[in-house]
Amino acid sequence: MGDKANAHPGAAGRATAADHPASVRNVVLVGHSGSGKTTLVEALALTAGAVNRAGRVEDGGTVSDYDDIEHRQQRSVQLSLVPVEWDGIKVNLLDTPGYADFVGELRAGLRAADAALFVVSASDGVDGSTRMVWEECAAVGMPRAIVVTHLEAARADYDEMARICAEAFGSDDPDAVLPLYLPLHGPQGPDGHAPVTGLIGLLSQKLFDYSSGERKESEPGEDQLPLIEEARNRLIEGIIAESEDETLMDRYLGGEQVDVKTLIEDLERAVAHGVFFPVLAAAPAAEGSRQGLGTIELLELVTRGFPTPLEREAPRVTTVDGKPRELKLCDPNGPLVAEVVKTASDPYVGRVSLVRVFSGTLRPDETVHVSGHGLADRGHEDRALHEADERIGALSRPFGKQQRVLTHAIAGDLACVAKLNRAETGDTLSAKDDPLLMEPWQMPDPLLPLAIQAHSKADEDKLSQGLSRLVAEDPTMRLEQNQDTHQVVLWCLGEAHADVALERLRSRYGVQVDVVPHKVSLRETFADKSGGRGRHVKQSGGHGQYAICEIEVEPLPGGSGIEFVDKVVGGAVPRQFIPSVEKGVRAQAAKGVAAGHPLIDIRVTLLDGKAHSVDSSDAAFQTAGALALREAAADTRIHLLEPVAEVSVLVGDDYVGAVMSDLSGRRGRVLGTEQTSGGRTLIKAEVPEIEIGRYTVDLRSLSHGTARFSRSYARHEPMPPQIAERIREEARDAS
């Protein structure tokens, strides 16, 4: 890396990668919104010869072609794949959105990749969410490198940024996060700013000048060598510390000169094993140039230092009935195991699935078995465990809006599959006669509710199908048909996520919806003991209706439900009609007795009643039971119960006070705090659900995007009288 002769980029880009997992690299780009990930992908594609100087692919379009939604949002909202070739290696670059609302796309990219490039802006630094993703990668041992962008900014300081990266990402070992290159500055401009025009290789001690638009290699002057000595020595010590040769450090400290080839080989192994994390710099090519600054060095690192798919431990695989299955690692000749990491809809092709092949070889026109864990346990009522056989359509690799046909996709590679209509994101593709299932990757729970209704009758007819397609594409979105509030609710990760969902419904599926206020599932209960008499007596020609019953209602502890007790003596209510009274009581309780919310946690005791030998009936006693319950409710206070959620907030220590104060302002009760690793605190609290409808948005703002929270239903409890009265008034006005 850095000592290689400057090969012609077009020739390197046109080299054909060998059809073997060892010649594939899957790399995900991670960084906050605006850090320059997409621009970097375009620069790498230009250097690799995949696009021409105008940034266009050979058969039309550009590598950065966005869909219409991304143009309107002015930011990336979905995972995109850009395959390039360099030095005979196929590099699948996975560009992820940097905005927190689209973390599901980021997680999909992490699943599909074998290594990560963390893109950091020299003008913005490292934000908290990027640190959290770094920790996620560290937890699974994913190899990583850091790329500093926006070096052209007036106050950009590469050396300072490298130091900040070491502090942010090297908490365990700062000497494992070190720059491989130093910036080479050009002449100062009128504003006193000296632009970065090239790089100085610390290992090779060579200069790489990009000022002409192509990299030119030269030897440093004698006056430049002392300037890089300290950084070079520290880099060498950092590499040797991770060397598999345990004698190398002693030899180096003893004065032995370690040759550059050995250092580079040790560096490549340390990077591939995820124990050393080099810092590099990159910038897009100037107009008319063929190479962006640092792009050759970055492609060399990716192809020579990042691991092949053969070095990645595959996710756990079982048979569809849950029995463990051992697979040979990334074997193109093994049983087929592939995973759908992303699902999208194309207006011309239909559904397109981005698939990572972990074992075997995927070929078009063959029938595969599709199996998925389903998400019913997380509230996706319509996404249970499912299986189906499907025929593979055309295989292709994307480039901008183009799809280039593939004859097959081997283990370790990525490909797009057209018209895989029964497969959802996260599903496993396997051989029809040997169905297998991969362990799903972790996805965040959507916690922002979006209540919607069809804009018109025509939209209502298409709404169900549109929503089903939407949640099949995006596993971070949950669809709820709330039986209590009679609302259709889309649960999203944030406001931007919700906006994209509405736009996709409109533009892709032709469904216009209106957003309405989200309602929580309230309940009612009796505050005190009360009694009621239900009298349903109607006489007319023929059979009449006759039923009288007397009941007593008393409140029960939370969670008791509805109890019905029969204490009738002397046959005042015939035995065959006692279940009718209970049925009427329960039907009325489901409708509510005050504000139209279900009645819970009461004991209803049937004390007495009257019947007629001819006119009494099941229907008459059901009506009498309902009337008796309503009369009992009219003679006592009715509590309105609201759902209370148990909330766990993981937040940096700097924001604990602000978060706890905010929870108290939401009528929350803090139950306790617990110190966790990484300078964070876990806060546990109980908060009324009506107060946390937008908490995911507010918490992100409060903690600068560094906090996470989860929630679960705890119980229903009485609502404060003033809030309860307001809700009753709203119910009366609506009726």
Q: Would residue 326 count as lying in a domain?
A: yes
Task: Assess whether 300 and 396 both reside in one domain.
Answer: no
How many domains in the chain? 5
- List pLDDT tens digits, range 234-254: 999 999 999 888 888 888 888
pLDDT(159) > 50: yes
Q: Using the 8-state DSSP alphabet, how is residue 511 labeled?
A: -
Q: Which of the pair, 365 or 3, is modelled with greater confidence? A: 365
Whole-number pLDDT of residue 706:
86
- List pLDDT tens digits, range 338-371: 999 998 876 667 788 999 999 999 999 999 999 9
Whole-number pLDDT of residue 541:
64
Ranges assigned E (strand) in 125-174: 144-149
Task: Assess whether 426 and 460 both reside in one domain.
Answer: no
Cα separation, 360 vs 336, in Å, equals 4
pLDDT(15) > 80: no
Comparing 220-234, 330-344, 544-558, 648-662, the range with the smallest average pLDDT is: 220-234
Q: Would residue 669 count as lying in a domain?
A: yes
Q: Which domain holds residue 489?
A: 452-516
Mean pLDDT of 681-704: 95
Q: Would residue 249 count as lying in a domain?
A: yes
Whole-number pLDDT of residue 509:
87
Cα separation, 725 vs 43, in Å, equals 61
Whole-number pLDDT of residue 226:
83
Q: Under DSSP, is residue 135 helix (H, G, I), strand (E, B) or coil?
A: helix
Strands ordered across the beta sheet of 216-218: 181-185, 196-201, 207-209, 216-218
Task: Assess whether 224 and 334 both reside in one domain.
Answer: no
Q: Residues in the chain, how many? A: 735
Last residue of a domain, one of 516, 533, 554: 516
Cα separation, 673 vs 660, in Å, equals 10
- List pLDDT tens digits, range 56-91: 444 444 454 445 444 444 456 789 999 999 999 999
Q: What is the CATH number of the domain that holds 565?
A: 3.30.230.10
- List pLDDT tens digits, range 618-672: 999 999 999 999 999 999 999 999 999 999 999 999 999 999 999 999 999 999 9
Specify whether the CB–CB gap between 194 and 186 falls below 8 A. Answer: yes
Whole-number pLDDT of residue 2:
46
Q: Would residue 540 count as lying in a domain?
A: yes
pLDDT(16) > 60: no
Task: Assess whether 299 and 394 both reside in one domain.
Answer: no
Whole-number pLDDT of residue 337:
95
Q: Using the 8-state DSSP alphabet, how is residue 231 labeled?
A: H
Task: Assess whether 159 and 194 both reside in one domain.
Answer: yes
Task: Assess whether 189 and 104 both reside in one domain.
Answer: yes
Residue 679: both structure tokens together? 């300078």
Task: Assess whether 33 and 134 both reside in one domain.
Answer: yes
Last residue of a domain, one of 636, 651, 666: 636
pLDDT(193) > 90: no
Cα separation, 285 vs 40, in Å, equals 10
Maximum mean pLDDT: which of 104-108, 224-228, 561-565: 561-565
pLDDT averaged over every residue in the chain: 87
pLDDT(290) > 50: yes
pTM of the model: 0.85
Ranges assigned E (strand) in 172-247: 181-185, 196-201, 207-209, 216-218
Task: Assess whether 276 and 288 both reside in one domain.
Answer: yes
Specify whether the CB–CB gap between 448 and 476 falls below 8 A. Answer: no
> How far apart, in Å, are the Cα atoms of 101 and each of 362, 383, 418, 447?
32, 22, 27, 11
Mean pLDDT of 7-21: 49
Q: Would residue 190 count as lying in a domain?
A: yes
Contacts 24+ apart (CB under 8 A), 407-410: 407/363, 407/364, 408/361, 408/362, 408/363, 408/364, 409/338, 409/355, 409/357, 409/361, 409/362, 410/19, 410/20, 410/21, 410/24, 410/332, 410/357, 410/361
The closest alpha carbon to 679, from 650, 647, 705, belongs to: 650
- List pLDDT tens digits, range 394-404: 999 876 667 78
Q: Which of the pair, 12 or 132, is modelled with greater confidence? A: 132
Last residue of a domain, one of 438, 473, 499: 438
Comparing 168-177, 258-267, 342-351, the range with the smallest average pLDDT is: 342-351
Task: Assess whether 57 and 129 both reside in one domain.
Answer: yes
Task: Assess whether 145 and 47 both reside in one domain.
Answer: yes
Q: Would residue 1 count as lying in a domain?
A: no
Task: Using CB atoms within 10 Å of the CB of residue 405, give its burial: 0 to 12 exposed, 13 to 18 middle, 19+ buried.
Answer: exposed
pLDDT(11) > 70: no
Q: What is the CATH number of the domain that holds 489?
A: 3.30.70.870
Task: Assess whether 617 and 712 both reside in one domain.
Answer: no
pLDDT(540) > 50: yes
Instruction: Report the b/e string of 622-640 with b at 16+ CB within 10 A.
Output: bbbbbbbbebbbeebebbb
Q: Would residue 216 count as lying in a domain?
A: yes
Bridge partners (DSSP) listed for residue 620? none
Task: Assess whether 84 and 165 both reside in one domain.
Answer: yes
Q: What is the CATH number of the domain that holds 276?
A: 3.40.50.300
Q: Would residue 447 count as lying in a domain?
A: no
Q: What is the CATH number of the domain that holds 433?
A: 2.40.30.10
